[in-house]
Amino acid sequence: MEGPTPVSALLHRSTMVVAGIFLLIRVTKKIVTEKFLLICSILGSITAIFAATSAFLQHDLKKIIAYSTTSQLGLMVLAIGLGNPNIALFHICTHAFFKAMLFLCSGRIIHRYKNEQDLRKIPKIKLTLPITSSCLFLGRMALMGIPFLRGYFSKDLILESISETPRNLLVFFLASLATLLTAAYSLRIITLCFIKKTSQTPLNPTKEENLKLTSSILRLAIGSIIIG
């Protein structure tokens, strides 16, 4: 389901997309069985792998961010399957900041380049949208789990909780592979948006974007750095 970028930022941040995860967190407090936790851990790790692989093969900017949301939802379900619903809730809160920022940045880029979403056709955005491109880079770093950014604290807790029990070695391998794939498609976005040259010329390269449009992105960027 596709929609306007501000709506996507709201849905993927804190409402419809994570509603099922929040329901699982509430159910886990009442129903805690080995079979239930095992199913959650397996489904979560498979979902994370599948979504991360799908994001790596996409060229549409919004689809890559949407698939990355699905991958992070898989990690949240995995945390629930490990018997740590509080860590899953913490990852929901940390994920909300930089994912909303990424969607707003993608909307700003798409609007600037006349509804173009294909990364292969977008020239170097750092020349035309320096503030948006900086926030996009920061969001990808937080999603990769770079230390001391917001995404690092919750993702590190999930991987640490897996490694505490030897019986979860397979789940640990799948979760680690999903995390590596997250870093791979994040670096792919950075390469296509910042480094790779295209045959198109930038649109209005001398003008910076309106501060009214970037103020919300800047506030989310500050939250992605200092809150965690």
Instruction: List the single range of 12-26, 132-146, 198-212, 214-228 with lowest mean pLDDT.
Output: 198-212
Mean pLDDT value across residues 23-38? 84
- Tell me the Ramachandran region of residue 115: left when phi exceeds 0, alpha when psi lies from -120 to 50, beta otherwise: left
| DSSP bridge partners of 48 | none
How far apart CA 152 and CA 217 sit, in angstroms, is 20
Q: If you search the block for the tokens 């699905």, which residue do you land on? A: 70
Distance of CA 135 to the CA centre of its chain: 13
Q: If you search the block for the tokens 């649109």, which residue do you land on? A: 203
| In the predicted structure, residue 47 carries a pLDDT above the cut 70 | yes
User: How sure is the predictor about 97, in pLDDT bands with cuts at 50, 70 and 90?
Assistant: confident
pLDDT of the residue at 205:
44
Instruction: List the single range of 7-11, 88-92, 105-109 with lowest mean pLDDT.
Output: 7-11
**Comparing C-alpha atoms, which of 184, 190, 62 is closest to residue 118?**
62
| In the predicted structure, residue 228 carries a pLDDT above the cut 80 | no
Instruction: List the single range of 67-81, 113-127, 189-203 with lowest mean pLDDT.
Output: 189-203
Instruction: List the single range of 22-36, 64-78, 204-218 with lowest mean pLDDT.
Output: 204-218
How far apart CA 8 and CA 61 sit, in angstroms, is 13
How far apart CA 154 and CA 146 sit, in angstroms, is 11
Residues, the chain, total? 228
The residue among 87 and 17 whose pLDDT is bigger is 87
| In the predicted structure, residue 195 carries a pLDDT above the cut 70 | yes
Residues 45/74, Cβ–Cβ less than 8 Å: yes
How far apart CA 134 and CA 167 sit, in angstroms, is 41
Mean pLDDT value across residues 155-181? 81
User: How sure is the predictor about 77, in pLDDT bands with cuts at 50, 70 and 90?
Assistant: very high
| In the predicted structure, residue 106 carries a pLDDT above the cut 60 | yes
User: How sure is the predictor about 15, in pLDDT bands with cuts at 50, 70 and 90?
Assistant: low
